[in-house]
């Protein structure tokens, strides 16, 4: 049997206090990854702190140059937001392509980022759009947030509160999806941001990463042809029953070209 305490927090302060007090306590967001991990006995927390009753962690705030999304905002809410569709269409379409209806209606942006699954979609948006992950303790730049497979810069006791996405000049996210789960076999977000061109790749390796060579070529010439001959080395890429490392390397170039072509 599972032996853990369950607590539904009604404020961020209450969740922070419970997390600090509970030895081996874990936050519960949409449960789409955590509940599966519990069932598989991969995680055995002493206490689950449910964030779903905390109003301040939900919602989408539109500002002149950025969109800030609360950590407990569900993927479906981001996908159907008219403002996100208008200002960062790449982000709305990425959220709309996550999993199936149930996953989109339960899963949250905060949970997806804290989990940092190597095949998840949101890491590509955060890294590719140069977003900032805001926690109960600090603001973490995208380039500092993703540390490795299922690993982030989050410290013990840290809770993601929201994510701020600067509105890009143009961007697109294209993924070659696993037909069963819809996770990314390879997904690429290409963007022209205020700080320059960014190309972020998910699904291909143990953690989301940027492709500097493509960014340089696209800065000089924003066109699919500019990156047609650029490929990432297969050496460090994932190889599994779905795709070999060499095939993933090929897909990175193809998805990146399509992303540049469709960016708006
Ligand atoms: C069948 C299926 C298909 C899927 N397909 C896709 C897909 O195509 N693309 C994709 O990207 N994802 C996919 N997912 C994953 C989905 O997006 C999940 O929503 C996501 O991985 C976890 O979010 P969650 O809100 O459910 O978090 P939970 O499962 O509740 O939590 C995940 C982890 O994050 C921690 N956490 C949660 N919230 C916070 C917070 N605010 N601050 C700090 N830590 C926090 C938890 O403690 C836990 O360790 C799929 C899942 C399933 C079950």
Question: pLDDT (tens digit, 9 = 90+) per residue, 137-195?
Answer: 999 999 999 999 999 999 999 999 999 999 999 999 999 999 999 999 999 999 999 99
Predicted pLDDT at 109? 98
Judged against a pLDDT cut of 90, whether residue 23 lies above it is answered with no
User: pLDDT class for 234, splitting at 50, 70, 90?
Assistant: very high
Judged against a pLDDT cut of 90, whether residue 1 lies above it is answered with no
Predicted pLDDT at 192? 98
Instruction: Let me know if 250 is exposed, middle or buried by CB neighbors in 10 A (0-12, 13-18, 19+).
Output: middle
Beta pairing partners, 32 = none
Predicted pLDDT at 27? 98
CA of 31 to the centre of ligand 1 (A): 7
CA of 210 to the centre of ligand 1 (A): 22
Pairing of strands 160-166, 132-135: antiparallel
CA of 227 to the centre of ligand 1 (A): 32
Q: Please name the residue whose Cα sits nearest to atom 43 of ligand 1.
A: 159
Instruction: Let me know if 125 is exposed, middle or buried by CB neighbors in 10 A (0-12, 13-18, 19+).
Output: buried
User: pLDDT class for 3, splitting at 50, 70, 90?
Assistant: confident
CA of 111 to the centre of ligand 1 (A): 4
Alpha carbons within 13 A on the beta-carbon side of 208: 34
Q: Please name the residue whose Cα sits nearest to atom 19 of ligand 1.
A: 107
Q: Count other C-beta atoms under 10 Å from residue 4's C-beta.
A: 16
Test site for ligand 1: of 12, 25, 33, most ligand atoms within 8 A of the Cβ: 33
Q: Please name the residue whose Cα sits nearest to atom 47 of ligand 1.
A: 27
User: Looking at ligand 1, which atom is closest to the CA of residue 100?
Assistant: 3
Whole-angstrom distance, CA of residue 103 vs CA of residue 95 = 11
Judged against a pLDDT cut of 80, whether residue 2 lies above it is answered with no
Mean pLDDT of 200-217: 98
Q: Please name the residue whose Cα sits nearest to atom 11 of ligand 1.
A: 120
User: pLDDT class for 66, splitting at 50, 70, 90?
Assistant: very high
CA of 117 to the centre of ligand 1 (A): 8
What tokens appear for 55 in the block? 């109003």
Q: Which residues contact 215 (CB under 8 A, 6 or more apart)?
A: 196, 197, 198, 199
Q: Count other C-beta atoms under 10 Å from residue 34's C-beta.
A: 20
Q: Please name the residue whose Cα sits nearest to atom 20 of ligand 1.
A: 112
Ligand 1 contacts (CB < 6 A) are 26-34, 51, 71, 98-99, 103, 106-108, 110-112, 114-115, 117, 120-122, 154, 159-160, 181-183
User: Looking at ligand 1, which atom is closest to the CA of residue 36?
Assistant: 53
Whole-angstrom distance, CA of residue 67 vs CA of residue 171 = 14
CB 201 within 8 A of CB 124: yes
CA of 195 to the centre of ligand 1 (A): 29
Instruction: Let me know if 8 is exposed, middle or buried by CB neighbors in 10 A (0-12, 13-18, 19+).
Output: middle
Q: Is the dihedral of CA 25, 140, 29, 64 positive or negative?
A: positive
**How remote is the C-alpha of 257 from its chain's centroid?**
21
In sequence order, which ranges of the chain are alpha helices (DSSP H)? 12-21, 34-39, 75-80, 82-87, 89-96, 101-106, 109-115, 122-128, 142-145, 212-220, 245-262
- Is 203 in a helix, a strand, or coil? coil
User: Looking at ligand 1, which atom is closest to the CA of residue 34?
Assistant: 29
CA of 110 to the centre of ligand 1 (A): 8
Alpha carbons within 13 A on the beta-carbon side of 58: 15
């Amino acid at each position: 049997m599972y032996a853990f305490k369950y607590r539904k927090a009604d404020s961020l302060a209450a969740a922070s206090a419970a997390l600090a007090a509970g030895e081996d306590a874990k936050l519960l967001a949409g449960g789409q990854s955590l509940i599966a991990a519990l069932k598989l006995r991969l995680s055995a927390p002493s206490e689950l702190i449910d964030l779903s009753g905390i109003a301040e962690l939900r919602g989408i705030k539109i500002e002149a140059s950025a969109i800030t999304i609360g950590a407990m905002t569900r993927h479906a809410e981001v996908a159907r937001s008219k403002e996100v569709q208008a200002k960062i269409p790449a982000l709305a379409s990425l959220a709309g392509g996550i999993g199936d209806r149930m996953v989109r209606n339960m899963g949250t942006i905060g949970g997806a980022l804290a989990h940092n699954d190597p095949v998840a979609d949101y890491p590509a948006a955060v890294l590719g759009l140069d977003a900032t992950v805001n926690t109960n303790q600090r603001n973490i730049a995208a380039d500092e947030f993703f540390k490795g497979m299922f690993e982030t810069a989050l410290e013990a006791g840290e809770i993601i509160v929201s994510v701020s996405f600067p509105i890009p000049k143009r961007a697109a996210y294209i993924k070659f999806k696993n037909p069963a789960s819809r996770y990314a076999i390879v997904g690429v977000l290409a963007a022209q941001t205020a700080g320059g061109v960014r190309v972020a790749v998910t699904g291909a390796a143990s953690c989301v990463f940027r492709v500097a060579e493509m960014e340089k070529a696209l800065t000089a010439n924003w066109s699919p042809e500019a990156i047609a001959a650029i490929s990432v080395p297969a050496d460090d890429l994932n190889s599994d029953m779905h795709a070999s490392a060499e095939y993933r390397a090929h897909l990175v170039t193809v998805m990146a070209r399509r992303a540049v072509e469709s960016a708006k």
